[in-house]
Amino acid sequence: MSFSAPPPGYGGQPAPPTSGYRVPLDSNDGKPFPTDFQEVGPPVSHDLDGSPQFLGSVLFDNAVHPCKIGPHLSPPANVAYGGGEVGHWGRYDLLPFVPDQMEWVPASHGHLPAGRRAVEGGYEEDGAKLYHALAEISGVQVPGKTGEHLGGANVGFGGVEHSIQQGYRVL
């Protein structure tokens, strides 16, 4: 597995794309989740049981949605969708978190932080952009999605899609 382009921060490289550099993965290929943090980056949070959680995007037929990735989950990619937390079988992309170049910025009501370049995580079927979000549910920081049209952040936790209007962060 490799990045789709040189990892950010390598001397003289152009700025990373608005969606960041991605590691393509597939829950149907039977390969184990990569364990090399140089490839996947550090986890952005930990689940209730202490298992690491990463950022990702699931690929649907006509949309791409930001999701949480947990190597301990089956399938590893889970997305907040249609009122539930849905396990995604098939292609998904992991976004390595690069702490020196990325930061979590407080946001509310679907507004993107002014003066910042939010990392694009995907889009809806109608083309509306989606961004990576992190919101707290039951004491756990949960990766999810946000967009101006959502009015907040949507995260999947405990089998349910939670909609958080305030107190979440955008990457």
| Spans of all domains in the chain | 23-170
Handedness of CA 154, 118, 42, 21 (dihedral sign): positive
Residue with tokens 């930990």: 46
Q: Is residue 74 scored above 90 in pLDDT?
A: yes
CA geometry: angle at 66 spanning 38 and 120, to 5°? 80
Phi, psi values for residue 2, rounded to 5°: -150, 165
Handedness of CA 149, 92, 101, 37 (dihedral sign): positive
Full-model pTM? 0.88
147 three-class SS = strand
Helix (H) or strand (E) holding 39: helix 37-40
Mean pLDDT value across the chain: 89
pLDDT in tens, 102-112: 999 999 999 99
Q: Is residue 34 scored above 90 in pLDDT?
A: no
pLDDT in tens, 45-56: 999 999 999 999
Other C-beta atoms lying within 10 Å of the C-beta of residue 49: 8
Q: Is residue 5 scored above 80 in pLDDT?
A: no
DSSP 148: G
